Amino acid sequence: MSMDALVVRARGLWEDLARVPVSFAPPGGVHVVVSPRSGLCPVGWVGVVALGGSAVVTAPSDSAAVIVRGALGRLPVEAVVDSTAVREVLPVTRVLGPAALAYVSPATFRPVASGALTVRQLPAAHPDVRILEQVAGHEDAGEAALDDITSPAFVVREHGQVVAAAGYRAWPRRTAHIGVLTAPEVRGRGLARVTGSAAVAHALAAGLLPQWRARPPASRRVAAALGFEELGSQLGVEMAQCDNATHGPA
């Protein structure tokens, strides 16, 4: 699959997640639409996704869309997912991201051999995976979101305990949203690459498009090692003028 084909598939995913009719703007452009239940961001927020040199933006109301359209329309497309640049033109109260959006095809995937490690499959809801989440801490476990995966969990054990795990959640447009988590005491040993490789291989074998969304540099390095290419970014913005609705995951 060519890079252009990856961009097309990725854009189709995020156009669906906008939950209203929208398409990515021509190169360098930004399309802003009203979508109160957008999947690009928490409910009540402004969601921004830039892919392949253009962007789509969802706003929670008509009034918010007018403000966002006027502010972001003055920025180059790469700046609409730059939290510092966005804060300068919008009344921002909270921000999520930016998170890099990376994708891989069968042709560009670089699998990592497990070597002396044994990667096993566990049911996604296995209690040993929940224990790993507790050990890793709330922030890292939330980033990996292994409690949301629909695939098996691909795990490595040491001394009987799961110390690394990866899997994916089935997203629209036959997308596999990858999550990887490693216990703090074993980080830096390549376990995220080994378990992540197993999850990606499983997704590709099923004909899915693996997606890696990450903020931490370490996670982005793991994705790059597996052959993922960063094609864009996602940003969520809460504006002072927007209704403070209850918000959930993107």
Question: Phi then psi for 134, rounded to 5 degrees?
Answer: -65, -40
The domain tally of the chain equals 2
- Residue 246: which residues within 8 A CB-CB, separation 6 or more? 43, 44
Unique residue bearing structure tokens 């224990």: 131
244 belongs to a structural domain: no
Q: What is the CATH number of the domain that holds 124?
A: 3.40.630.30
32 belongs to a structural domain: yes
60 belongs to a structural domain: yes
Q: Are residues 124 and 95 in the same domain?
A: no
Can you give the residue range of the structural domain that contains 62?
3-99+233-239
For residue 115, what pLDDT is reported? 81
Q: Are residues 73 and 130 in the same domain?
A: no
110 belongs to a structural domain: no
162 belongs to a structural domain: yes
For residue 113, what pLDDT is reported? 86
Confirm whether pTM is higher than 0.95: no
pLDDT tens series, the chain, 250 aa: 555 889 999 999 999 999 999 999 899 999 999 999 999 999 999 999 999 999 999 999 999 999 999 999 899 999 999 999 999 999 999 999 999 999 999 999 999 988 888 999 999 999 999 999 999 999 999 889 999 999 999 999 999 999 999 999 999 999 999 999 999 999 999 999 999 999 999 999 999 999 999 988 999 999 999 999 999 999 999 999 654 443 333 4
Q: Are residues 90 and 140 in the same domain?
A: no
For residue 114, what pLDDT is reported? 81
56 belongs to a structural domain: yes
Cα(28)–Cα(30) distance, integer angstroms: 7
Q: Are residues 75 and 154 in the same domain?
A: no
For residue 241, what pLDDT is reported? 61
Q: Are residues 53 and 136 in the same domain?
A: no
Report the amino acid identity of residue 47.
Answer: G
Strand order from edge to edge, sheet including 46-51: 30-34, 54-59, 46-51, 229-239, 92-103, 209-214, 175-182, 161-171, 153-158, 120-122
**Cα Dmax for the chain:** 58
For residue 250, what pLDDT is reported? 42
Describe the chain by its helix, strand, coil percentages, rounded to 5: 35, 30, 35
Q: Are residues 207 and 137 in the same domain?
A: yes
247 belongs to a structural domain: no
Q: Are residues 167 and 198 in the same domain?
A: yes
Q: Are residues 159 and 213 in the same domain?
A: yes
Q: Are residues 158 and 72 in the same domain?
A: no
Q: Is 184 helix (H, G, I), strand (E, B) or coil?
A: helix
β-strands 175-182, 209-214: how paired?
parallel
Q: Are residues 7 and 93 in the same domain?
A: yes
> Could you say which DSSP state residue 245 is in?
-
> Could you say which DSSP state residue 14 is in?
H
Q: Are residues 10 and 66 in the same domain?
A: yes
61 belongs to a structural domain: yes
Q: Are residues 129 and 56 in the same domain?
A: no
For residue 248, what pLDDT is reported? 34
Radius of gyration of the chain (CA): 18
For residue 192, what pLDDT is reported? 95
